[in-house]
Amino acid sequence: MARSPKKSTAQVKKKKKPAAKKAAPKPPSKRAKLSAKEYAPLAPYLRIKGAREAIDFYKKAFNASVRMIMDAEDKVRIMHADLIINGGEIMLSDTFPEFGTAVTTPPVDANTTTVSLHLQVNDADKWWKRATDAGCSVVMPLEDQFWGDRFGMIKDPFGHVWSIASRIKKKRAKKRARK
């Protein structure tokens, strides 16, 4: 009878184990806070007619804090501003038509907007009330949605559309299920 050759110790150790399935990465449990010298990896930049008024409005409507304001040479308009809203960064400036055709146009000039700014918050009702009390108009009423968020859309006086959402609280979800 023919013998099979003996396997060396190195060959025995090289047995491959089946690849373990990788778990999906977990979402961060806490929102990262930007330091005074950091910028968010992605931040919307809004072009606004009346940037100074918009900043005051965003403070009232969205509890914005100002990180930086750079005045234009005319000392009337804002060349650049950096705000923090709900832990996220937003940048904005006035329009400067004297520098030629703008690459971006404020929504009030375009009569439309192609983006909305989303706020995922801890209490959508509280954020909604503050924003609408400050002067935002309702685009889509704040309501419990089938995907599990309380969600609605508003428009600020400068033409920018915002969505506000928070996860539906368990008590509210149970009441909704009973109806």
Q: What is the token pair recorded at 78?
A: 């804002």
Is residue 9, in this structure, part of any structural domain at all?
no
Is residue 5, in this structure, part of any structural domain at all?
no
Q: Please write the tens of the pLDDT for every residue from 126-168.
A: 999 999 999 999 999 999 999 999 999 999 999 999 999 999 9
Other beta carbons within 10 Å of 62: 24
Q: What is the pLDDT of residue 73?
A: 95
Is residue 57, in this structure, part of any structural domain at all?
yes
Q: What is the pLDDT of residue 111?
A: 77
pLDDT band of residue 12 (cuts 50, 70, 90) is low
Q: Please write the tens of the pLDDT for every residue from 55-103.
A: 999 999 999 999 999 999 999 999 999 999 999 999 999 999 888 777 7
Is residue 74, in this structure, part of any structural domain at all?
yes
Q: What is the pLDDT of residue 27?
A: 45
Q: What is the pLDDT of residue 7?
A: 58
Is residue 18, in this structure, part of any structural domain at all?
no
CATH label of the domain that carries residue 149: 3.10.180.10
Mean pLDDT of 16-39: 58
* Structural domains counted in the chain: 1
User: Could you list the residue range(s) of the whole structural domain that residue 117 is in?
Assistant: 39-178
Is residue 2, in this structure, part of any structural domain at all?
no
Q: Please write the tens of the pLDDT for every residue from 93-135.
A: 999 988 877 777 778 777 778 789 999 999 999 999 999 999 9
Residues written for the chain: 179
Mean pLDDT of the chain: 83
Q: Which position has the higher pLDDT, 152 or 13?
A: 152
CA 65, chain centre distance (Å): 15
